[in-house]
Amino acid sequence: MSQPEAFGRYRVIRRLGSGSFATVWLAQDDLLNYPVAIKVLAENWAHQLDIQHRFLEEARILRQTDSTWLVAVHDVDVLPDGRPYMVMTYADQGSVADLVQRGQLPLDEALRLLTEIGQGITVLHNHGTIHRDIKPSNVLLQSSPVGQRVLVADLGFAKSIDEASGFTAAAGTPGYMSPEQSIPGGDLDVRSDVYSLGAVAYELITGRPPSRPPVRIPPGRIRPALPPALDELILSALSVDRESRPADAKTFTDRVRTIRMAPDLPRAVPWWQRHRMPWQRAAALVASLVVLVGTLTASTGSPGLSLTTVRHAAQQVRVPVPLVWAREFHTGREAHPAATGGGLLVATDVDGWYSTDTRSYGVYATVVPGDRGLGEIGTDPCGTEPKERELDTGTWEGTVWEWPECAGNGSFSSAAVHQPGVPETVYLEVRQPGHRPDLVNEIIDGTTVS
């Protein structure tokens, strides 16, 4: 759809986004001198009466609830071609999904957002409505005189609780919708929304969505030192058995509020939390791993990436790692039989480093006595022949083997390098989303052994 000049008295400024059923535009109400968002039914659905009904039902629900925690609808009208549009609150600070992508949130901030999201869903439940599509991108943020406001939005899948036993089609977003939502004709109730609240809570706390159900890894394993009550609450909300979930959004939200108000809630984000290091590895880390304070500015060879240096004390090796990958650490990992004392692995998911089902990005490094080649210390992780190249950075020389595409999980590179005249080899592995030999070279060049 090309940009229109206006919708009624609302002057269009730019498009904010579009989905399967509608396009949202930023517009200016020149009469009241106020920005608004205008949601217009997509052209390909113009003659689908059931879709038009769903669109207008969303507007009715939002208008009737008229809550601080929900996007407000100010007006509804119809275009000359018969498509309806609604004039809504403009959320000038984007969505919670945008916020999560910027980095891990302080715990108090994550719980504040979760409380306000839960209040919005509680309003819907009190109105007799199930949202059915709660996810970070459907929670908007708006500036206000008293601070940031949370606005639950996009009720395109919302249905009356009274009709919950008559849903004929699956609806929702995989990863956030309850298991029962994936079954057409399933008997749903408000606990389906509780599951989605648990999924949003998991992502707000850890920075990543939960796995497919059943979810077994508690948030505290990814972000250590969380209150046990928070782990228990989120896992109960994500239970496959809805009888084990909190009864409704209010119950869930009240428990979040209680946890947030506890006097012993961690208010700061410790350094080990920022790197999402599993707590059970903390003791080993204190003995063998030192994270150097600060980051190294990425060189022109690696635009947009900042590097942090980590050290494996037992092997006296220091390795630069892109900061965005430094979520979990593992020392003593014996990935190769020739490694002495194990190696250092820094990655987004250390348990999924060699899994074909998990996309884990990071760096593994270990020191091997003598000048050894890949044939003696390495493995073939991708099931295909690698591209081989010789490397000489002036400090390091050796061989790099590269798999630009490794089993659908990005690029994999391994290297066996040594310093001229030094009788030991440093073996490295680098997993990354795309094939960037320049980044591999930079990691190798920045590696030091003392």
Distance in angstroms (rounded) separating the CA atoms of residues 311 and 292: 8
| Cβ atoms within 10 Å, residue 243 | 7
**What residues act catalytically?**
133
